[in-house]
Chains A and B, each alone.
Chain A
């Protein structure tokens, strides 16, 4: 092979830099832009189909969504985000100070996902499925995509919690993880407004 990568340059040292935003935070910011556009795509499709629907929306004969109980559930998610914000503040003092709010925040996030799953069970029993109507299709696709993001983000927060426990957690990766969770939390009221109301 003509390409020679076997030898490191003489005197090679890993380079340290002091950028304005750490790499992980900046990378997460761009990732969130792409994710926001994904939800924008779903919601715009939903808006168009809803506007063109013959015979009203939701379509006749389809179950109604649990608007009130989901509103309560939304509060759990928002609380989870606020508590994680608080945990981030405390983390600057010490890792120990951040532990309890961090655990509480992840628990509330998990509670949100579980309650959503419980509501899905009820809706499926009432006959709202992915293929029962475009109403059901959009509901399960949009809310399901959000749920997948929530589950993924909670999994990532668990990894960070484990690192916190071991004392490996850096401010940089905690900040990036918090940003992902804020995204999951803050996009939800938008989706709730579009899908449920």
Chain B
């Protein structure tokens, strides 16, 4: 390293308007950009869910705001609902927003390792978000081949009838991956190289670990999907035949490449959410995290194992039954570490002095819902029962019991917990709790009926069940109406959150530096943290979860306090 670069310690200059709002490199501002963009995209994803659920409950009605829904629009709505919620909501909010906001603050750094790459990451992400929105309005309409985009349906415009929508959808997904590749490198390098002195590996807060493990999983799994996406794009636009069996190609190849990424992706979004839950339950039960190292090794083990389970999505795709046996074993195995992690969280709660604040309610709701999601995954992972349940609403209910807790309950946990630090004001607890209970009950009201419908044989991706006499009986239709009504209640309840978010941002009670009496380093700086975060860089003396340590006056023991 050249001498003049290394010794150039300078006073940081004040960011100008352009530097602050148009081309910011401050990690907190980029985090806010990701958060706001992600939540706006959630409104679009939610709107699609509203439109197709109303169509399913009352087929053929004029849907308020949306209008009459055609079969092609229905397909585009379910496809883009899934794609947007996973790639443009769960990833930007859970990994990018919280990773950007928390990692430098929690490890005691002034910013990310590569601030300008960080800015580039958001800009690329914004381009991808615009691309996916534009893809809904091109001639032929948005892509309707499901978020998994199986060829030949996705490859041939003569089949999917969306010549522009499908290519634009695919390109948007690929561009979005570039954004998260850049972001993920930044997170890991920051957490490895910019930690405060004294912060050993087991003094690092769990959420930082989880976001880093998730980033590594993403980087290791995304390559094959990008490779597959390039081939699919060539099939769509350049008349190649990678997935066309009549020209020597193999449509199952896409499924392998997609799910090789797709299954680790589940853990990419799951792990940051569990990390945030770990922070919240320790603070609000005033207890040390039970089994820090065990949770960490469990997460790493889960990450490794997640690369060997992908073919459980393809049990009925014509793969070799011997391969199905292997993947059944690995899939059922992976439920062990995740169950263990959740039980360690419950053990953390045991005999704690639990305080039911809004973030704590969300964290407990996460554990409850995710356990249901995990348990219902076992019959799907076992190839014998999956043959009957595959592509039914049982699958939909199962993965919404995993993804909704991750993407929304997890995000609400994080937002309500770090809001005071992020925006300098407290959120309203009463509105927060009402919002939690309505959302939580309505969520279960949507997806519990779908388990029953799935077991009754209701297949996915059907536009109108009136055409299927066995599935249009009054009792099944009643369950559909129940799910849709719950969804309408859930969506209406989000108005409470939006109101609380913006009202508290300006009119909430001013937050002190450490309103929750937490230990980690982000609570040592003012709320909101100034540019550059720390006026004096902290030194770390202990782990992040020293709550209720015996022999101390206070029940918390911040990481930076010398003993």
> Which residues of B have CB within 8 Å of A145?
230
Mark contacts of A26-52 with chain B using CB atoms, 8 A cut-off: 1 yes-contact digit, 0 otherwise.
110011011111111110110011001
A6 within 8 A of B: yes
User: Nearest Cβ in chain B — how far from A102, in angstroms?
Assistant: 17
B109 within 8 A of A: yes
User: How many A-B pairs with Cβ below 8 Å?
Assistant: 192
Q: Which of chain B's residues have a CB closer than 8 A to the CB of A171?
A: 1-2
Instruction: Decide yes or no whether A72 CB sits under 8 A from chain B.
Output: no
Contacts of A5 in B (CB 8 A): 15, 20, 26, 28-29, 528, 530-531
Given contacts A2-B425, A131-B238, contact A12 B535 (CB under 8 A): yes
Residues in chain B near residue A38, CB distance under 8 A = 223-224, 226-227
User: Are A14 and B12 interface neighbours, CB within 8 A?
Assistant: yes
- Cβ of B301 within 8 Å of any chain A Cβ, yes or no, is no
Which residues of chain A have C-beta atoms less than 8 A from B456's C-beta? none
Interface size class of B (residues with CB under 8 A): 35 or more
Report whether B249 and A49 are in contact in the complex, using a CB–CB cutoff of 8 Å: yes
CB distance from B512 to the nearest CB of A (A): 15
Cα distance, A44 to B231, chains bound together (Å): 13
Give B249's nearest chain A residue, CB to CB: A134
Given A14-B12, A15-B109, does the pair A26, B192 have CB atoms closer than 8 Å?
yes
Provide the B22-59 mask, 1 if CB < 8 A to any CB of A, else 0: 00001011001000000000000000000000000000
B532 in contact (CB, < 8 A): yes
The complex places the Cα of A141 from the Cα of B518 at a distance, in Å, of 53
Chain B residue nearest in CB terms to A170: B2
Which of B123-131, B179-187, B364-372 lies at the interface with chain A? B179-187
> CA separation between A54 and B247, bound complex, in Å?
10
Q: How far is the CB of A116 from chain B (nearest CB, A)?
A: 19
Cross-interface CB contact of B110 among A14, A22, A48, cutoff 8 Å: A14
Q: Is the Cβ of A131 less than 8 Å from the Cβ of B240?
A: yes
Contact A27 B185 (CB under 8 A): yes
Q: With CB as the reference atom, state the residue of chain B lying closest to A7.
A: B530
Name the CB-closest residue of A to B423.
A2
Q: Is A114 an interface residue (CB 8 A)?
A: no
Given known A-B contacts A131-B240, A141-B231, A34 and B222 have beta carbons under 8 A apart: yes
Which residues in B have their C-beta under 8 angstroms from that of A4?
424, 528, 530
**How far does the alpha carbon of A96 sit from the alpha carbon of B479 in the complex, in Å?**
77
How many residues does chain A have at the interface if contact means C-beta atoms less than 8 Å apart?
55
Known: A9-B532, A34-B222, A134-B242. Contact between A53 and B248, CB under 8 A? yes
Q: Nearest chain-A residue to B241 (Cβ)?
A: A134
Q: Does B228 lie within 8 Å of A41, measured CB to CB?
A: yes
Most chain B CB inside 10 Å of its own CB: which residue of A19, A54, A59, A168 = A19
Residue in A closest to B228 when the chains form the complex, CB atoms: A41
A120-133, CB under 8 A of B: which get 1 and which 0?
00000000001101
Interface residues of A in 140-189 (CB under 8 A from B): 141, 145, 168, 170-172
Whether, in the assembled complex, B10 has its beta carbon less than 8 Å from a beta carbon of chain A, the answer is yes
Q: Is B473 an interface residue (CB 8 A)?
A: no
CB <8 Å contact, B238 and A9: no
Q: In the complex, what residues of A have CB within 8 A of residue B188's CB?
A: 26, 30
A170 and B8 alpha carbons, distance in the complex (Å): 14
Contacts of A49 in B (CB 8 A): 242, 248-250, 253
Residues of B at the A interface (CB closer than 8 Å) are 1-2, 5-15, 20, 26, 28-29, 32, 109-110, 113-114, 117, 181, 184-186, 188-189, 192-194, 216, 219-228, 230-231, 234, 238-242, 247-250, 253, 256-257, 260, 422-425, 505-506, 525, 528-537
Which A residues fall within an 8 A CB radius of B?
A: 2-17, 19, 21-23, 26-27, 30-31, 33-42, 44-45, 48-49, 52-54, 59, 130-131, 133-135, 137-138, 141, 145, 168, 170-172
| 6 smallest beta-carbon distances between A and B, as pairs | A37-B223, A41-B227, A41-B224, A38-B223, A9-B535, A19-B193
